[in-house]
Amino acid sequence: MNWSEVERTLKAAAQERRGAQSEIARRLGIKPGSVSNYITGTNSIPPHHLDTILAVLGMTLHLGDASTVDVRNVLIAMTEQPDRQFFESDDRGRQIYRYGETEIAGTTDLVWYTPARWWVKLRDPKFRPHALGTLEYTGDSAFVDVYRVVDGPFKGYRVAASPKLIHLSAPDLPGMHEVAAPFPD
């Protein structure tokens, strides 16, 4: 979510909640019309009003490395329900999906068994491996460093990473993590 989307969300919430604009103005010690100018108009929310707006609306804003949230959400959505549009083949009980360029990598390929059993190869990743979670180094193999994810939604998954490749695999796929590429090009 970028700032424009955050702002739209906050403005909509303030408009829907009865008395919110008046309460924001009261807490800030300004006229209600000033708040109305940015809540209902095209003016941006002044950054120094953000804490008050969030408090009045009962909302919190979590900031972090954008790639962390976005990468995790993209991968979760992709692996829970792979897009049939990118389906290539079914081989040995696995389904292969070639997504091509995505918002997280220059090329994204997925080998999928079930929502809990999959591996993905991300060529030219648009994020750093730490976006997948806290990584524990477990060694190296053929030009890649190998890690285990120790927290977050991919806890227990294996990561093989180099500057040009990130390979993420489920923990119960024996042998898959020793090879940087999940399948030949």
Cα distances (angstroms) measured from residue 36 to each of 18, 42, 65: 13, 10, 32
Q: Please, which pLDDT band fits residue 27 given cuts at 50, 70 and 90?
A: very high
Of 23-32, 85-94, 95-104, 156-165, the range with the lowest mean pLDDT is: 85-94
Chain position carrying tokens 């909509």? 12
pLDDT, the chain, mean: 84
Report d(CA 156, CA 147) in Å as an integer.
10
First-residue to last-residue Cα distance in the chain: 34
Name the pTM for this structure. 0.58
**pLDDT value at residue 178:** 42
**pLDDT value at residue 68:** 54
Report d(CA 75, CA 108) in Å as an integer.
10
| Gyration radius (Cα) of the chain, Å | 22
The mean pLDDT of 145-155, rounded to a whole number, is: 90
The mean pLDDT of 122-129, rounded to a whole number, is: 90
Q: Please, which pLDDT band fits residue 70 given cuts at 50, 70 and 90?
A: confident
Domain residue ranges in the chain: 3-57, 66-178
By the 10 Å C-beta count (0-12 exposed, 13-18 middle, 19+ buried), 42 is classed as: exposed
Q: Answer for the pair 109, 120: CB distance below 8 angstroms, yes or no.
A: yes
**pLDDT value at residue 181:** 42
Report pLDDT digits (tens) over 168-183. Answer: 998 877 554 444 344 4
The mean pLDDT of 64-90, rounded to a whole number, is: 77
CA 25 to chain centre: 35
Is the confidence at residue 39, as pLDDT, over 70?
A: yes
**pLDDT value at residue 182:** 44
CA 23 to chain centre: 34
Is the confidence at residue 46, as pLDDT, over 90?
A: yes
By the 10 Å C-beta count (0-12 exposed, 13-18 middle, 19+ buried), 79 is classed as: buried
